[in-house]
Amino acid sequence: MPTVSAKTSAPITIFSGTDRDWSEDIVSQCPSLQVGCRAPRWARNGHTQAALTVFHDEYAPAAVGDDDERRAMADGGTVSLQWAGLNEPAQTPVLVVLHTICGSGDSLRRFIASMRRRLGWVVVACNRRGHANLPLTAPRINTMGFPDDLDAQLIRISERRPQARLYGAGISAGSGLLVRYLGEKRGASRLAAAVAVCPAYDVPNGLRSAHPRYDAYMTRKMVRFFLEEHRDVLGGVDGFEHCAAARTMVEFHERLYPLAGFDTAETYNDASDPMRVAADLTTPILVLNAEDDPVCSASNVRRHRDAMQRLPRVVTALTRYGGHCGFYEGTGAATSWSDRAVAEYLLAADTDAGSACPSSAVDARPGPIASART
């Protein structure tokens, strides 16, 4: 079986699942997946790409939406749906966007605007508990979000757009929730296809290889965002101070379980870790990673490569450059390669959505199906 080298010499390497014919057909419809991210020389490292991500997201135009809908969960928790494009025809596909670890639909407004422009679809951001200025109305928080909350949000989306096919895009931590949902639901998933951008794969092990400076920064940010801002609600939960004293993202997640409503770290991981159910995933999915990602290391791709390639309809794209959720290219590094790749894939998947995945059509030849070279 072909392997992924420590440093790929090609701008992009594509790995397929067991349905190789499907993967080849999808990649043939996605020019961006054939050439990779062409970052300018000065932006060919993960740190520069991280700075570009912050810059482009921070200075993106204000979000333009149609509705900001709050929803109460069964245990009293509050989530929300931020809609854009509700005036589109009833059968227009809906892209469901799952945000980053401390983000929201507002922090992804650049990506959402790009998807609206490139696809012409309805886009709805599913905000998790405590995000998007939502009050924490139940003493329960999870950095990855709760699959039951997402299921309730998707049911609501289907109620409002009953004639539309639904697609999912998870960004960073949002990918974890997306894959967890897909693995739990299997064939009952409400999503016709999905995209995972810069996932850590498993939690918390996927964060062990994060660059130390990013790890320290993100840990402080999570303590402030999830704990200090909600001390009035969570402060009385056993384990609050222990979690607040975490020095790394791994420590934070290992200590989070009582605040997420679980008795042990193991039961928390059993209910939250996407890779524990990923083998049951049947929904077509594109996974984007970069070799120079300083947060979700490319070592995660190598560690989980075999498991991902046993899935039926998966395309994993590993680019040489892109950082964590950056992928900016062009002379001024103002264009997002990942935006283009995501849009191309979703359009191809929507064309393909009417066909099933017959087991007789599966070609069990996992391995790279494309490796573009300059």
So what's the pLDDT on residue 364? Answer: 38
CATH number of the domain where residue 198 is located = 3.40.50.1820
CA distance 342 to 344: 6
Q: Residue 354's pLDDT band (boundaries 50, 70, 90)?
A: low
Question: Per the domain annotation, does 31 fall within a domain?
Answer: yes
Structural contact between residues 49 and 322, judged by C-beta atoms closer than 8 angstroms: yes
102-133 residue pLDDT tens: 999 999 999 999 999 999 999 999 999 999 99
Split into its structural domains, the chain has a count of 1
**Kind and range of the H or E element at 122?**
strand 122-127
pLDDT above 90 coverage of the chain, percent: 87
Determine, yes or no, domain membership for 186.
Answer: yes
* Alpha carbon separation from 293 to 32, 41, 273, 325, 334 (Å, rounded): 19, 16, 21, 8, 18
Report the chain's mean pLDDT, rounded to a whole number.
91
Asked if the model's pLDDT at residue 312 lies above 60, the reply is yes
Domain for residue 5, yes or no?
no
- Rounded CA separation 2/22 (Å): 19
Q: What is the largest CA-CA distance in the chain?
A: 57
Give the model's confidence band at 98: pLDDT under 50 very low, under 70 low, under 90 confident, else very high.
very high
Over 80: is that where the pLDDT of 6 sits? Answer: no
pLDDT for 9 equals 56
- 356 assigned to some structural domain: no
Q: Which domain holds residue 69?
A: 12-350
What per-residue confidence (pLDDT) applies to 366? 43
Instruction: Reply yes or no on whether the pLDDT at 359 is more than 80.
Output: no
Q: What is the pLDDT of residues 319-346, one digit of tens each?
A: 999 999 999 999 899 999 999 999 999 9
pLDDT at residue 2 is higher than 60:
no
Residue 122 counted as domain residue: yes
Checking if the pLDDT of 68 tops 70, the result is yes
